[in-house]
Amino acid sequence: MSRLVRCCQALCAAAALLLSACAHQPTAEVRGTGDLGIVIERATGSVQIVDHSRQTSLGRVEGLGDLSHAHATYSRDGRYAYVFGRDGGLTKVDLLARRIDRRVVQAGNSIGGSISQDGRLVVAQNYEPGGIKAFDAQTLELVSEVPAEYAPGQFSKVVGLADVSGNRFAYALFEAGEIWVTDFSTPAAPVTQRYPAGKQPYDGLVTPGGRYFMAGLFGEDGVSLLDLWQPGQGARRILGGYGRGEEKLPVYKMPHLRGWAVADGKAYLPAVGRHEVLVVDLTTWQEVGRIPVAGQPVFVMARPDGRQVWVNFAFPDNAQVQVIDTLDRRLLTTLSPGKAVLHMEFTPRGEHVWVSSRDDNRVTIYDTDTLQPLKVLPAQAPSGIFFTARAGRIGF
């Protein structure tokens, strides 16, 4: 009997401890994360946690290292952002507690990363040392790595990493001119297939749904296309006219392909070095049109419903954003969100878009229907904006 009493007393004490611990959590409010996101502040190594329903910043998390080129991917529950920094830092940020959950420095020079289909592995793509590394998504412990050693002693920078089905990751090797697909079904023993792709692939993406991996080529014209449903067929060249063409124009910033816009059976993609957005038929892979724009496009992004495509530009035309109506492929408007527009992110269903202006230290929220600014949020040299809706998308 006395034992039972002692046991009860111990339980009560434990419960009291737990309650007091809960009371000290910073998250007083019980809430979901479906309308949260982060804004990268590239010069200060910080991120702002934002709420796109209330259009406000909830707070700032600091100490993420060099974010001069940063990318983020999300845990499948949308609670944690994995932020990949230029200095090889991989930081797991808790959006609810608004603090760093874990952080590792995993390489000397990194460019981004992605999360596996099952949500258990976070994979970083690195320039130095060239290759990819897989981490346990919970603990950030290294699980395995695939060095991009394409010839004995020769390592390549890895670009365009994308998660695809079957816990596989597709990516391109800049120096090697190859596309690699690594299968992490057995996380500690990944299996890699190699496919010749063409000269100097500089970025890659998977099409919505994840069937095709495409790598833009810098060293020659065209795009390398790998059908991930039939990878044994190898990568083939499409869009022979895509690239810098006969007259090699200087390219002041590499276009990002990740925002590749698909709308109404057509893809809209940035021309390389030219002031044009190209329109490509997705059944024939033939170019079917070109839309003149204000500068060299960097991101060409479709509103989630596909009706609009938003475009930002490389230096020196980077104070503008242009909007294209995909129904008749004409320019709807030219906006001036501020100096050095680096990124845009749509709300999950596309009624708003958030636009970062690095040199005016602000993020502008636009209504995509009226094309009018709704609100301006201050941010320190903002670059990438990443909403948690990415958690459920292939290739993000």
Partner 1 sequence: MDRTLVVHVLVLLGLTGLGVVTAQAAGPEPARRAELVRMVRQDCGSCHGMTLKGGLGPALLPESLAGKPSASLVATVMSGRPGTPMPGWSRFVNEAEAEWIIQRLQEGFPPVALGAGS
Name which position in 37, 42, 115, 255 contacts partner 1 (CB under 8 A). 42
Which of 124, 143, 159, 302 is the binder for partner 1 (CB under 8 A)?
A: 159
**Closer Cβ to partner 1, 125 or 167, answer by number:** 125
The CA-CA-CA angle for residues 63, 64, 68, to 5°, reads 125
Q: Nearer to partner 1 by C-beta: 219 or 265?
A: 219
Part in contact with partner 1 (CB under 8 A); list of ranges 144-152, 190-198, 208-216, 354-362: 354-362
State which of positions 102-131 bind partner 1 (CB under 8 A). Answer: 108-109, 111, 127-128
Give the shortest CB-17-to-partner 1 separation in angstroms: 44
To partner 1, the closest distance from the beta carbon of 183 in angstroms equals: 27
Asked if 246 is part of the footprint of partner 1 (rule: CB under 8 A), the reply reads: no
Asked if 320 is part of the footprint of partner 1 (rule: CB under 8 A), the reply reads: no
* Interface with partner 1 in residues 210-239 (CB under 8 A): 218-219
Question: C-beta of 149: minimal distance to partner 1 in Å?
Answer: 19
315 forms part of the interface with partner 1 (CB under 8 A): yes
Interaction with partner 1 in 327-346: which residues (CB under 8 A)? Answer: 339-340
Of residues 52-91, those binding partner 1 (CB under 8 A)? 66, 68-69, 86-87
Nearer to partner 1, 169 or 202 (CB): 202
Q: Number of residues in contact with partner 1, rule: CB under 8 A?
A: 35
Identity of the residue, 96 or 159, whose beta carbon is nearer to partner 1 in the bound complex: 159
According to CB under 8 A, which one of 71, 133, 358, 362 is a site residue for partner 1?
358
Instruction: Quote the least distance from Cβ 235 to partner 1, whole Å.
Output: 21
Site for partner 1, rule CB under 8 A: 42-44, 66, 68-69, 86-87, 108-109, 111, 127-128, 157, 159, 174, 200, 202, 218-219, 250-254, 315-316, 339-340, 358-361, 380-381
